[in-house]
Amino acid sequence: MSQPTSLPRVGFIGAGRLARCLALGFSHAGYPVTAVASRTPASAGRLAGQIPGCAALDDPQQVVERADVVFLAVPDDSIGTSAHTLRFGPDGAHGKSLVHCSGASPVELLAPARDQGASIGGFHPLYLFGGEATDLERIAGCSVTIEADGALKDTLTALAVALRCHPLSIPPGGRMLYHGAAHYAASFALCSLAECVALWRTLGFAEDDALRALLPMLAGTIQTARDKGLPNALAGPVSRGDTGVVQKQLALFESLGGDHAALYGLLSRRAVALAQRRATPPAAIDSIAEAVEESLGRSLNQAAAGASVK
């Protein structure tokens, strides 16, 4: 593919799961991916070997010298120390940028580069990288959350689009909330499944059987949310206004002890809020909300005394 001269040269420090996908994706989109360095030279060599015109380098500093946009694709705990070792000035910083890919770590960790005249930013793909070639296809349609200003924001937005992703802009200082909240759509969805599996185990259901039953239901819920939005995709007794079922389930979960009822009650509170966002909320929504709050009044203290799952 011909390389338009206006496209910035991209380099990577770190050659792990995320870097493998981004470096190949940018290269396939026509960006000159010029340099990779990593902790282990063999990692850098493996990645650079798949990209035409890309050099595997021993020293991360050489990546700064050969690229305009440097992705610091190292584990979060190494971002700050790596940023401290890189030199951008006094003339070298012109038009250079240092970017990390963490969702939770502040962009401010890259301040040493900014202090030398480089632009700094965050580029966080909302995608779980497995490190396999399939990542390149699967990342299409995902979002990339970008924290940057000016020309770097435009550059990172174009790079996100080059991966066939949707750019999402985040204000400075918002990353911890953004990343913590995103757990609800990833790990915490797994925790909800684990709670169901644990409760079903008391009925004698094996985990494999439980997951075979639950995962298609979850997939259907996601599809419905895509089609109808969250309030209208809500199913279950809260959405139908079945106060009696909600009351009996709250009482049952309270009788189990531990924090089962608190978890159920807090999620039911969120279900009530979703149902209330409907154009026509269920007629019984107020009595359901009351039952949920009464149960929470009892169960939150119980939950504070001890967890159900070790």
Ligand X SMILES: NC(=O)c1ccc[n+]([C@@H]2O[C@H](COP(=O)([O-])OP(=O)(O)OC[C@H]3O[C@@H](n4cnc5c(N)ncnc54)[C@H](OP(=O)(O)O)[C@@H]3O)[C@@H](O)[C@H]2O)c1
Q: Name the residues that contact ligand X, by CB under 6 A.
A: 13-19, 38-40, 43, 60, 73-76, 78, 82, 100-103, 124-125, 128-129
Shorter beta-carbon distance to ligand X: residue 64 or 73: 73
Looking at the Cβ atoms of 19 and 24, the one nearer to ligand X is: 19
Q: Which is nearer to ligand X, 113 or 284 (CB)?
A: 113
117, exposed or middle or buried, with CB in 10 Å at 0-12, 13-18, 19+? middle
Cβ neighbour number for residue 43 with a 10 Å cutoff? 18
Q: Which is nearer to ligand X, 19 or 148 (CB)?
A: 19
Residue 17 or residue 278: which is nearer to ligand X going by CB?
17
From the CB of residue 140, how many other CB atoms can be counted at a distance below 10 Å? 11
**215, 196 contact by CB (below 8 A):** no
Least Cβ distance, residue 103 to ligand X (angstroms): 6
- From the CB of 50, what's the least distance to ligand X, in Å? 14
CB of 219 to ligand X, least distance (A): 21
Nearest residue to ligand X by CB is 16
- Smallest gap from Cβ 80 to ligand X, in A, equals 10
Q: Provide, rounded to whole angstroms, the least separation between the CB of residue 193 and ligand X.
A: 19
Cα separation, 221 vs 233, whole angstroms: 7
The position carrying tokens 């939150």 is 300
Q: By C-beta, is 17 or 153 nearer to ligand X?
A: 17
Shortest CA distance to 91 belongs to which of 61, 65, 53? Answer: 65
CB of 39 to ligand X, least distance (A): 4
